[in-house]
Structure 1
Amino acid sequence: MRRGLGWGLIALLGYIGLPYLLVQRLNLGLLHEGPPQGNTLALTFDDGPDPQTTPAVLDALKAADMHATFFVLAPLAEAHPDLIRRALAEGHEVQAHAVRHVHAWMRSPWSAVLEPGRAARRIAAVTRQPVHLHRPPHGAYTLATIMGQRLANLRGAHWSVEGGDWRTGATPETTLAALLPRLSPGAVVVLHDAGPGAKVTVPMLPALLKAMQVQGLRSVSLREWQDGSSAPRNSAEL
């Protein structure tokens, strides 16, 4: 009985504990920050696209002449390809979030292995270009999540600054005040263009972008860092 419990704890540590510590917390192997020199950071948005909120995010980014990376849900991308086309045409990057927005710890191992590849393939069918980054829901990992990313030839993408727009009690004012001291070159900021967080981010974003301009900072897509390019590349029309 005790031996079985001991082996169970060891298995749980290997499946959840080590990935949580090494990947989710220490970001080993993940894209989670950019070059600290220069004047660029990366705004990223999860859980969209949503026709009620994503257009306002795109409008604010366009007005500020900045670019971002959108980690989208496959069913929503399929339901709203016009928003995906607009994001790509305006120089943004579209990458994989999930098919089902379920925490990795709540998935069966088989589901967690298959999820990254399934999401990437369905999103690539909408964008008509390869998907190479995957951000799992809640940024949560298990050993199966890592295996799924490797099998699908995807790199995990995390963040260095969490906007907290989804938290209970968050407001545009409190979220902006919490973000401003943490903005710096190389930061990867996670916000939401859909779901509960969008109710905070949409009204807050113009002020955030204005503050970035005052500080001499601009947002670029993660692809721009990886390509080593300072100028965004627009994707071909779908």
Structure 2
Amino acid sequence: MSRLWWRALGILGAVGAVYIGLPYVLVQRLNLGIVRQGSGAEKTFALTFDDGPDPATTPAVLDTLQAAGVQATFFVIAANAEAHPDLIARLLQGGHGVEPHAARHVHAWIRSPWGAFLDPLRAARRVSAVTGQVARFHRPPHGAYTLATILGQRVAGVVGAHWSLEGGDWARGATPETLPTQILAKLHPGAVLVLHDAGPGARVTVPALPEVLQLMQEGGWQAVPLGELPGVGPRTWRDVLTGR
């Protein structure tokens, strides 16, 4: 291989390290500038759902939450929100948070920089048009970031929202019978738990949710929307250096 090819590969590697590698380390691993965890001062955690709303599954999730007196935050797909404004209205009436998840549910690493930049903007604008509220948080698909994703969130005026506890309802082998105890075993004060009210994960979460909430309440846990989690806020360099 000629020197020119090696040089080109070196340049591509350096660009990739800045565009994907740096955000992966700083944002996805160190959580700098995004929300992932509350203060952990009490047995309170944020309950969040991704990928809805879906008329086939979201109503059952809402029925279960209402019966348990629990409120959560739903990160919704823009097209789904636009197609089902009645479900968005029910979410808001129930006191749940509604925030943008994506305009297109595509992993940021395989998108063009321009597409990754525009997605938070488009998602926030379209979801806000349905909710009538200004978007506060944004959770990119798969929790994946690039430099363009970060810039898009900044321009959109939203804070990235990750999670500290993944329910794994989408995973192969996950069942409604195993999900509740798996979650409870890993639940910790200030956690941000992610489940799914639509898509493959909903087949497990919908039937498992009543037991999940029952076990949590029996254990003295309180679930709240992300914006109400004690100590919630973007992680700073000081937090990173002090291990908070």
TM range (shorter): over 0.9
Identify the match of residue 25 of structure 2 among 21, 25, 29. Answer: 21
- Corresponding residue number in structure 2 for 1:75: 79
Deviates further, 16-25 or 51-60: 16-25
Q: SS of 2:178's equivalent? A: helix
Cα deviation digits, residues 45-93 of structure 1 (max 9, x gap):
0000000100111111111111100000000001111111111111100
Cα deviation digits, residues 130-161 of structure 1 (max 9, x gap):
00110000000111100100111110000000
Cα deviation digits, residues 17-54 of structure 1 (max 9, x gap):
11112111221111111121123111100000000100
- Corresponding residue number in structure 2 for 1:217: 221
In structure 1, distance between residues paired with 2:36 and 2:59: 26
TM-score by length of 1: 0.93
In structure 1, distance between residues paired with 2:171 and 2:189: 25
- Corresponding residue number in structure 2 for 1:231: none
In structure 2, distance between residues paired with 1:114 and 1:197: 27
Identify the match of residue 43 of structure 1 among 26, 47, 56. Answer: 47
Cα deviation digits, residues 175-215 of structure 1 (max 9, x gap):
22221111122000000000000000001100010011111
Q: SS of 2:177's equivalent? A: helix
Identify the match of residue 138 of structure 1 among 135, 142, 151. Answer: 142
Residues 180 and 215 of structure 2 are in contact (CA less than 8 Å); yes or no, is this contact kept in structure 1? no
Q: SS of 1:170's equivalent? A: coil
How far has the Cα of 1:5 moved from its partner? 1.2
In structure 1, distance between residues paired with 2:229 and 2:217: 19
Cα root mean square deviation, aligned: 1.3
- Corresponding residue number in structure 2 for 1:201: 205
In structure 1, distance between residues paired with 2:185 and 2:173: 20
Cα deviation digits, residues 214-234 of structure 1 (max 9, x gap):
111111011223798xxxxxx
- Corresponding residue number in structure 2 for 1:120: 124
- Corresponding residue number in structure 1 for 2:157: 153
In structure 2, distance between residues paired with 1:226 and 1:110: 35
- 1:62 equivalent to 2:66? Answer yes
Q: SS of 1:158's equivalent? A: coil
- Corresponding residue number in structure 2 for 1:88: 92
CA distance 1:227–1:130, change in 2 (3 Å): farther
Residues 58 and 198 of structure 2 are in contact (CA less than 8 Å); yes or no, is this contact kept in structure 1? yes
- 1:189 equivalent to 2:193? Answer yes
Cα deviation digits, residues 93-138 of structure 1 (max 9, x gap):
0001001110001110001111001000000000001001100000
Q: SS of 2:212's equivalent? A: helix
Deviates further, 25-34 or 192-201: 25-34
In structure 1, distance between residues paired with 2:223 and 2:114: 37
Residues 190 and 229 of structure 2 are in contact (CA less than 8 Å); yes or no, is this contact kept in structure 1? no
In structure 2, distance between residues paired with 1:126 and 1:4: 46
Residues 190 and 230 of structure 2 are in contact (CA less than 8 Å); yes or no, is this contact kept in structure 1? no
In structure 1, distance between residues paired with 2:186 and 2:159: 25
In structure 2, distance between residues paired with 1:70 and 1:215: 24
Q: SS of 1:172's equivalent? A: coil
- Corresponding residue number in structure 2 for 1:233: none
In structure 1, distance between residues paired with 2:56 and 2:112: 32
Identify the match of residue 10 of structure 2 among 6, 14, 22. Answer: 6
5+ residue gaps, structure 2, are: 233-244
Residues 45 and 229 of structure 2 are in contact (CA less than 8 Å); yes or no, is this contact kept in structure 1? no
